[in-house]
Chain A
């Protein structure tokens, strides 16, 4: 399991890193912000923040998808914070931030909200004819996988507790390459195996929407084409001969 987790982490980091590099290096030759758009760079930062934190466009579009989607993503973030207690050493300055009761209890109950959000999204995929039409098997499976990750996590938190001291030794050992045994728990095995799958498919699937949104020209460009000439490298090389005339 240690080995699987490490491989998955490497694939995830390298894969997403390469994708980010690709997005960052591919030019956007034309100004295409969806207007009205901010006319300053600061404005763009705010627009992007509203998009990423509040899902502004989705809110304009469809309240049901927004409710379920936002609930899922925020809960996932809270649950992620709760998990930091397995990685952060008690000696670290981070420990009080991670171990306090607010982060821990919010993170614990967020698990329920996360599963409810995911079930809502899955239900829409089955029930709404238009969304059913555009769904591939992987679209359903991904939701099911996240639901099982959530449910197996909740099981360990609320139904059959596991030996978290042993778990912490396992996780800390993982990063020191001092491999320890996992506590015995089927829920934990399922939980971790699916996290491995999640990390592995991340750079090769629609999960790339996470880095993608930051590179979306319709959202991250400043609306100032009359004031400032925007020119990509390939266009400058190929199509700028009139300038020297």
Chain B
């Protein structure tokens, strides 16, 4: 596995000298025939793939204004060239956002613009050859669609849009990515990305109920497929078994329990993630989202709440209403859909939750803004709420909190390096190199501010960090879920923790 060198963490995030072609060998496994066909794509590379690709490009530019405007508008000013974590971690110039876009733009120019048709050399236009297709496959799978470049572009050009279009074109010619396409297939057949069947899910939840009761003495329920519940919780399936995700799920359940909420999970919508976005497919994204609408209708819930997941929240917040709305059958007095942090922060503000912050005193926390939450969504009713809600909740349940370098947080946050459909072992090298900027910023607060743990609100971030940060000398357990912190500090009524506090300490530890 380690046939590459882990970059060295420097004191600051530096701009590397170019090393052309240094990541040209990095490509994910290609989707098998049945993965492709399940999503309505050709099983293997079609014979007239050039024509199919160009037709698809033409179709996309007529249906997506972003694609057309972004292809035309770039002036090659260079503002984005040092903004991508994959470039900073790999030194490969094709990982500079503009250069990544140009892989597609040079073909657009060659076939669809006057200048490119008649003066290709002058404007850098190129024929669509097999080598170009290979470059697409390689470098459009070295983009996590995190949108950091789009923040800094004077025209708002979003490489994520270009990379989604490129992947859709590649799917259309029969060269899809195994990881994403296989997973989308599993959602359709089983109900979640991990292929966890309903019975297994029920067992997991039962086990969790026992664990929580053992820990606290309170019978906290993890309801599944309960008709007539008020709230449908849709959460990434990693929350059902991965660490530290599952501790976050326990946190949601405790908060629901303590606030007396009637809630349920759904077997058929046991996945918040939606990899349809990663492959740029409106149709697949919609099909995946439709399970959530259907589950909400079938169970007769009044509200939908999403668990901690970055890209899922972008789709839920920004696209769900478009794709499968309107949600006129839900209670209109709550945001549709709502983020679990909006729910928890609302309850904390109301004072319905009793918190003992000292439970988290053995940690000093920092927070990683997930790219899709930071730059593709919102929480609350004002711009930038997505930065405050998680910090507010963390500070409400922890005494020790420190932010990382502001050049690496909020709208300028660095992707964890595993988003956008890259969270697969066949892309380990790009994942390890891509986490470098975040690792650098984390190391700095660890050394200078005594930070011990980093909290995250995204299943992909959590999985990526626990796997790749150890390459840089961190340990897996330094990554925590935000609701894990809530879970630790929450003093439920009738719990052993409550008895202990009130027995030794009188009645006053409440915040």
Residues of A within 8 A of B (CB): 19, 22-23, 26-32, 34-39, 43, 51, 55, 57-58, 60-62, 65, 69, 121, 124, 128-131, 133-139, 141, 201, 204-206, 208-209, 212-213, 215-219, 223, 225-226, 229-232, 234-235, 239, 242-243
Instruction: Check: B227 CB closer than 8 A to any chain A CB.
Output: no
Residue with the greatest number of chain A CB neighbours at <10 A, chosen from B83, B119, B123, B381: B123
Please give me the 7 A-B residue pairs with the lowest Cβ-Cβ distance, nearest first: A212-B73, A136-B124, A61-B152, A36-B383, A218-B156, A131-B78, A61-B79
Closest to B376 in A: A35
- A239 and B282 form a contact (CB under 8 A): yes
Contacts of A234 in B (CB 8 A): 63
- B158 and A34 form a contact (CB under 8 A): yes
Instruction: Check: B450 CB closer than 8 A to any chain A CB.
Output: no
Partner of A226, one of B15, B74, B335: B335
Contacts of B64 in A (CB 8 A): 26-29
Residue with the greatest number of chain A CB neighbours at <10 A, chosen from B155, B158, B290, B317: B155
Contacts of B121 in A (CB 8 A): 137
Query: CA of A141 to CA of B70 in the docked complex: distance in angstroms?
Result: 22
Partner of A19, one of B72, B115, B151: B72
Instruction: Check: B460 CB closer than 8 A to any chain A CB.
Output: no
Contacts of B383 in A (CB 8 A): 35-39, 43, 223
Known contacts A30-B319, A31-B318, A34-B150; decide if A206 and B156 are in contact (CB<8 Å). Answer: no
Residues of B within 8 A of A (CB): 15, 17-18, 61-66, 68-70, 72-83, 93, 96, 98-99, 102, 113-115, 119, 121-124, 147, 150-158, 161, 282-283, 286, 290, 293, 317-319, 321-326, 335-337, 374-378, 381-384, 386-387, 411
Residue with the greatest number of chain B CB neighbours at <10 A, chosen from A128, A229, A243: A229
Partner of A133, one of B65, B96, B384: B96
Known contacts A204-B114, A219-B156, A226-B335; decide if A28 and B321 are in contact (CB<8 Å). Answer: no
15 A-B pairs besides A27-B65, A130-B18 with CB distance below 8 A are A34-B158, A58-B152, A130-B15, A130-B93, A131-B77, A138-B122, A138-B124, A204-B113, A206-B72, A213-B156, A216-B69, A218-B156, A225-B318, A229-B322, A230-B321
Query: CA of A121 to CA of B75 in the docked complex: distance in angstroms?
Result: 12
Residue with the greatest number of chain B CB neighbours at <10 A, chosen from A27, A217, A231: A217
Contacts of B80 in A (CB 8 A): 61
- B65 and A131 form a contact (CB under 8 A): no
Contacts of B382 in A (CB 8 A): 39
Residue with the greatest number of chain B CB neighbours at <10 A, chosen from A35, A128, A131, A209: A35
Contacts of B114 in A (CB 8 A): 204
Known contacts A26-B63, A32-B318, A206-B76; decide if A239 and B286 are in contact (CB<8 Å). Answer: yes
Distance in angstroms from B420 CB to nearest chain A CB is 15
Query: CA of A242 to CA of B328 in the docked complex: distance in angstroms?
Result: 13
Query: CA of A19 to CA of B382 in the docked complex: distance in angstroms?
Result: 35
Query: CA of A38 to CA of B382 in the docked complex: distance in angstroms?
Result: 8
Known contacts A32-B66, A226-B317; decide if A58 and B72 are in contact (CB<8 Å). Answer: no
Contacts of A209 in B (CB 8 A): 72-75, 154-155
Distance in angstroms from B492 CB to nearest chain A CB is 31
Known contacts A36-B383, A60-B152, A243-B326; decide if A204 and B318 are in contact (CB<8 Å). Answer: no
- A242 and B69 form a contact (CB under 8 A): no
Query: CA of A128 to CA of B82 in the docked complex: distance in angstroms?
Result: 12
